[in-house]
Structure 1
Amino acid sequence: MTLADWIHTVILALIQGLTEFLPISSSAHLILPSQLLGWQDQGLAFDVGVHVGTLVAVIYYFRREVLQISVASIAALGGRRSAEGKLGWLVVLATIPAVIFGGLFGDLVDEYGRSILVIAGTTLIFGVLLGWADLKGKRVRKTDTLGVKDALTIGLAQAVALIPGTSRSGITITAALMLGFERQSAARFSFLMSIPVIVAAGSLKTLELIQSDAEAHWEMIGSGAVLAALSAFACIYLFLKWLDRIGMMPFVIYRLILGFVLLGVWFVG
């Protein structure tokens, strides 16, 4: 590996970790280096590595909740109902639309959705929606009031995040805020929803990797996974710590600036 390869590894791993759980779109930021700087794709193996890193980060941060929810969800199959069991199955329910949409339209999005113009448009549109939801949402509901309709609504919003620039966390938090949930409850449910989605995406990429003849640079993959995990954990911790204090406006402003910069790049280029 060359020095340039290591630089690309570090930057892309940090981008994945820092943007996976912020409402600013990780897919957009990972696409942009190749679009703007001409960087080569790091390959399927690297994608799998950084997905594993972010998955480890979110599971470790919510390890107590994940354990309680998992045990309670299994117990619910035997008729032992609880708030944690209900939440677990609502997370599963909310994941189904993304899996269906990904299977039906994934190839179409890969072919037509990765242009700077598309990313600029989704960055701006869903940034404005996030700001509107943060300002107009009642922010009174907690996670224990979550119902089937809520889970399906947020799940359908998550499916739209298949389009680069939308932001999975951004649009799910937007939907939850529109439904009247508190910021913390909206963010936590969004992060819990990310676990099965990241597992599904990582599994799909792993299958593609197994079926391909792609060369794997294990030192790059390992380094990327560790950096993505550390940066993602720090991001989750700081985001939830500061969320009630700063709200969504800093991310809305960032998305608007980024969107207009991308429009400028597209019109000039």
Structure 2
Amino acid sequence: MSEQKPHQRVALITGANKGIGRASAELLATLGMTVLIGARDPQHGEEAVATIRAASGDAHTVHLDVTVPSTIQAAAEQIETNFGHLDVLINNAGITGTPARVSPMDATDQIPSTVDLAMVRKVFETNVFGVIAVTNAMLPLLRRSPAPRIVNVSSHAASLTLTSDPDGPFAALLPSAAYSPSKSALNALTVQYANELRKDGVLVNAIAPGYVDTDSNNHTGYLSPAQAAAVVVRLATLDANGPTAGFSSEDGPLPW
């Protein structure tokens, strides 16, 4: 009787060629997972793959733009052909809508009364609709996993409780009609997916990684991508008794 091969865990991370996504891929690879680097630019994806392979990790590039349905479908077909299943989906790809050279603290272009509606649509297209499109395309593959996990990378700015407190820690943030509402919507989606999928053992959670040093904030963040990746990966590797429909940070649960 032939010996059954052990289940090889496979993780897809969107927007994984840099920042939090790349650091998460690197960390998952050290845990023995096969990591799929979702990247709009395959060349940038290959650079991340080379780094992971140089450290003896198993990594592959997946051409994936969360706003382009054809690339999402092609990515799902590629994973189906090459691996037959998916264990972890990290919806990391996201945009602020504000030029990278501008800190979110100074994002005057997002003030609700003067915001460009086209910019709001663009942010929601990536941060909300893109998550729905990718998640739905990958669900058939996730359902074949013995321990499927979905992690949505959110933000402290998504919290209505925190951002509505005039004396709270986020009082200095300028009002936002694009980024913050898009992440609040992402949190709401997290709960709805978790409610639908909990009977199937799929754990779905949102994580606020903190103010991380990335291109999106012109490298003004005080946390490293590796620090952020640690909290993302914690949710990606929950055991069967782990939480679902949660919103948390490295310090624990966050208010909605």
TM-score by length of 1: 0.30
Q: Which has the higher contact order (CA 8 A, sep 6+)?
A: 1
Structure showing the higher helix proportion among its residues: 1
